Amino acid sequence: MPHQVLIIIGDAAETLDTMYPYYRLQEAGFTPVVAAPEKRLYQMVMHEVKPGWTITKEWEGYTINADIAFKDINPEDYLGIMFSGGRAPEYIRYDTDLVRVTKHFFEHNKPIASVCHGVEIPAYADCVKGRKMATVPKCKFDLEVCGGTFIDKPCVVDGNLVSGRTFHDNGHYLGPWIKLLEEARAAATQTQTV
């Protein structure tokens, strides 16, 4: 059975931040598991800074069903985790079960991906101290106030943590994260056959 990987979302998760990794995981033979505050249908959004605008404009995007609620996650069952962007991380970061799950992936050195506002979740969970990450520039403060270092690049790899700034970086940071997942899957498969 393909290994499972969590994608963390909520209402107002960014569509491309969520759907691109969802399908890339499938292409690589993993099972993406969408996790959210509750097991239900969620409304995603599309974000873009339009020419002449100084702030992000938001449109409704696709909807997506959550496969599991944060409270029901046993992190031992998952090979990796991905923190999607959009506005969802601003409120889901306070969920105590999401904090518990987030800490597990950092403490066990499992493959982690984060894009855009996704950084707000590991930052709140006290997992970014001493770590280098890319994020959207307006979240630089969230990262740095929690002890992380902001790097303005399309892909930043810091050990098991791979990050990008926005969905414009999908083609840069997701490949290295998938590679980490493939290495972890190979190691897990080898352990099972020994």
Residue 173 to residue 73: CA distance in whole angstroms: 25
Q: Can you tell me whether residue 55 is helix, strand or coil?
A: coil
Sole residue written with tokens 């518990």 = 100
Where does 2-97 show beta strands of DSSP type E? 4-8, 31-36, 41-48, 57-65, 68-69, 80-83
Active site residues: 117
Label residues 121-138 b or e (16+ Cβ within 10 Å = b). Answer: bbbbbebbeebbbbbbee
CB 82 within 8 A of CB 6: yes
C-alpha angle 38/104/96, rounded to 5°? 40
